[in-house]
């Protein structure tokens, strides 16, 4: 067993002890509230996942194992004469939590090289696909075609203890990362170039070999790919790629299944395609102004044109960050050093100066600053990697470093099957139903009956989610029977007493309500407390409050106030 594996093994027990201590002594400590808007908003911001490899800080951006990106650009090993951090060193940090030394880099490189050979059947699988098939589809299928080599699946079938499955998980993860540059480069060659496969150069590092096998041998391209793959490697555990890999992995699907699933999520236009959208938007802007470099006034005009059409400015804003993305800054510094006169870079720079002020005036963006996607596409474009659909493949190659590091740790820590509880809109509407002064008609007995109905409804909806529906429906129909008999009669008594002019319409609505209650009770007696029945009862009562209690009953009460004291 090699050095970094031994070190990784020694980290397990102390970490498990920390977790066991937390669960045993502080397991009931509340971590996060959740609102209805967060549930419908994709649970954004809800603290409910663990990820030790990275964390997204609203002010400082992504931190890998506690280190900021500027710190790691300085601290991580580099090739001789190079300025950009080696992704191999980042992988060592992500998976061990410690900064690598030179011999650690050699250790990781050797691990990758031992596993870098891609079986011919993978290339045959890719060659069987149409060349115009999405590169992300090809990547996912290429990874999945390797599943038969999974040591994890083999060891599980042989009955290896679950607590020891981290070792074959690590073996598979190293295999995927080692083979990704070869697979990605071949997808690039067959989709966009002559289809001739270029063999890896054993003297090059992981990122440089990707460029070499794509057919690009240029030291600056080697450097930008090192930086690109470093910057996109991880983004804490809640983004679609990371969460998908861990969700699938929680079933004890092997890393090939899990990572392929993550790539399918990355292929979504709301996740991994943003830098393509930035370049497309810039291209349309240039066409709008007849080509060349638009000046800042023209850029501002086009930004407003985009916003007024109800569209977003791609590459600006972020779900968590509230300042300029440090990944953007790192790419900008690279461009300033290597190609400051590039036309596309000058446009990107002008956007950096113009967009935030416009977004602040517009007022809808919580963060008007650029994220990494505002710059990453323009960098690749400068180096003649202009096949936009391939950008997400490069993103995926990079993201493997982070998500597979955490996949291994999830097995080290014995992470359990993820199975959050889902709820229905009916349930949430029940939670949202609360008595407030706007419902009060000012007559004590009537208001009390309305409050009681709300509580009955909330109890029914809650019961539906705890498997006790029949009992609560019986109680609710008992209440409704009394409500129909006494409450509605009470309202009609007051209306008759004070000659309420809308008595006939009010009474008609009462009769409709009684008929609805009767029909629903008959359905319950025939079919029992079905999901459909709960929904129908909920909707009937919500409609009753919305259309009758809040409006018709309020009008009745206002009339009573005008003619006499009613108590």
Supply the residues annotated as catalytic: 271, 318, 373
DSSP code of residue 56 = E
244, 250, 254, 257: CA torsion to nearest 10: -30
SS3 (DSSP) at 448: helix
Residue whose entry in the numeric block shows the structure tokens 């042989």: 158
- Cα dist from 388 to 377, 394, 530, whole Å: 8, 11, 51
Residue whose entry in the numeric block shows the structure tokens 């910057």: 231
Cβ neighbours of residue 114 under 8 Å, at least 6 residues apart?
178
SS3 (DSSP) at 61: strand
Residue 64 phi/psi, 5-degree rounding, is -95, 115
- Cα(320)–Cα(328) distance, integer angstroms: 15
List the structure tokens of 216: 């690009």
Q: Give the chain's count of helices (H) and strands (E).
A: 26, 3
- Cα(144)–Cα(179) distance, integer angstroms: 12
114 neighbors 69 (Cβ within 8 angstroms): no
List the structure tokens of 482: 């009394």
97 neighbors 113 (Cβ within 8 angstroms): no
- Cα dist from 478 to 118, 472, 541, whole Å: 70, 10, 15
Q: Which of 319, 316, 299, 305 is nearest to 374 (CA)?
A: 316
- Cα(504)–Cα(510) distance, integer angstroms: 10
SS3 (DSSP) at 54: strand
87 neighbors 405 (Cβ within 8 angstroms): no
Residue 316 phi/psi, 5-degree rounding, is -120, 140
Residue 66 phi/psi, 5-degree rounding, is 90, -10
- The b/e string for 422-449 (b: 16+ C-beta within 10 A; e otherwise) is eeeebbebbeebeeeeebbbebeebbeb
Q: In a 10 Å sphere around its CB, with 0-12 CB exposed, 13-18 middle and 19+ buried, how is residue 204 labelled?
A: middle
- The alpha carbon dihedral of 444, 447, 453, 456 has a sign of negative
262 neighbors 398 (Cβ within 8 angstroms): no
209 neighbors 181 (Cβ within 8 angstroms): yes
Q: Residue 160 CB: number of other CB atoms within 10 A?
A: 14
Residue whose entry in the numeric block shows the structure tokens 């080692």: 178
């Amino acid at each position: 067993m090699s050095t970094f594996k031994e070190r990784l093994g020694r980290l397990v027990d102390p970490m498990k002890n920390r977790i066991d201590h937390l669960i045993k002594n502080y397991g009931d400590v509340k971590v996060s509230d959740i609102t209805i808007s967060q549930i419908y908003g994709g649970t954004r911001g809800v603290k409910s996942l663990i990820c030790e490899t990275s964390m997204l800080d609203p002010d400082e951006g992504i931190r890998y194992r506690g280190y900021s990106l500027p710190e790691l650009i300085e601290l991580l090993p580099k090739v001789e004469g190079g300025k950009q951090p080696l992704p191999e060193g980042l992988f060592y940090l992500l998976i061990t939590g410690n900064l690598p030394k030179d011999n650690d880099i050699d250790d990781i490189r050797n691990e990758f090289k031992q596993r870098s050979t891609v079986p011919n059947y993978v290339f045959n699988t890719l060659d069987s696909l149409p060349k115009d098939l999405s590169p992300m589809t090809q990547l996912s299928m290429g990874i999945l075609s390797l599943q038969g080599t999974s040591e994890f699946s083999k060891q599980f079938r042989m009955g290896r203890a679950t607590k020891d499955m981290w070792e074959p998980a690590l073996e598979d993860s190293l295999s995927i990362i080692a083979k990704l540059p070869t697979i990605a480069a071949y997808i690039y060659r067959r989709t966009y170039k002559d289809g001739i496969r270029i063999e890896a150069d054993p003297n090059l590092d992981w990122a440089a070999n990707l460029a070499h096998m794509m057919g690009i041998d240029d030291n600056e391209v080697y450097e930008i790919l090192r930086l690109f793959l470093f910057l996109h490697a991880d983004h804490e555990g809640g983004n679609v790629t990371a969460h998908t890999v861990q969700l699938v992995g929680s079933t004890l699907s092997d890393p090939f299944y899990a990572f392929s699933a993550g790539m399918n999520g990355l292929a979504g236009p709301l996740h991994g395609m943003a830098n393509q959208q930035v370049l497309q938007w810039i291209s349309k802007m240039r066409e709008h102004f007849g080509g060349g470099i638009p000046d800042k006034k023209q850029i501002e005009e086009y930004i407003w044109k985009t916003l007024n059409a109800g569209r977003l400015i791609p590459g600006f804003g972020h779900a968590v960050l509230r300042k300029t993305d440090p990944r953007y800054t790192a790419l900008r510094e690279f461009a300033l050093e290597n190609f400051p006169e590039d036309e596309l870079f000058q446009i990107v720079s002008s956007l950096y100066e113009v967009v935030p002020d416009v977004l602040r005036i517009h007022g809808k963006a919580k963060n008007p600053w650029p994220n990494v996607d505002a710059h990453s596409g323009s960098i690749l474009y400068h180096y003649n990697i202009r096949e936009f659909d391939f950008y997400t493949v490069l993103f995926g190659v990079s993201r493997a470093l982070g998500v597979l590091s955490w996949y291994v740790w999830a097995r080290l820590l014995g992470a359990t099957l993820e199975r959050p509880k889902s709820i229905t809109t009916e349930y949430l509407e029940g939670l949202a139903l609360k008595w407030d002064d706007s419902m009060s008609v000012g007559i004590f007995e009537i208001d009390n009956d309305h409050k009681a109905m709300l509580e009955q409804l909330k109890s029914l909806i809650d019961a539906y989610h705890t498997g006790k529906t029949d009992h609560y429906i019986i109680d609710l129909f008992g209440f409704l029977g009394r409500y129909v008999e006494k409450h509605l009669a009470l309202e009609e008594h007051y209306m008759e007493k004070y000659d309420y002019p809308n008595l006939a319409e009010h009474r008609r609505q009462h009769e409709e309500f009684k008929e609805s209650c009767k029909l629903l009770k008959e359905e319950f007696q025939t079919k029992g407390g079905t999901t459909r029945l709960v929904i129908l009862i909920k909707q009937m009562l919500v409609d009753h409050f919305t259309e009758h209690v809040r409006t018709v009953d309020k009008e009745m009460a206002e009339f009573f106030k005008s003619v006499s004291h009613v108590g």
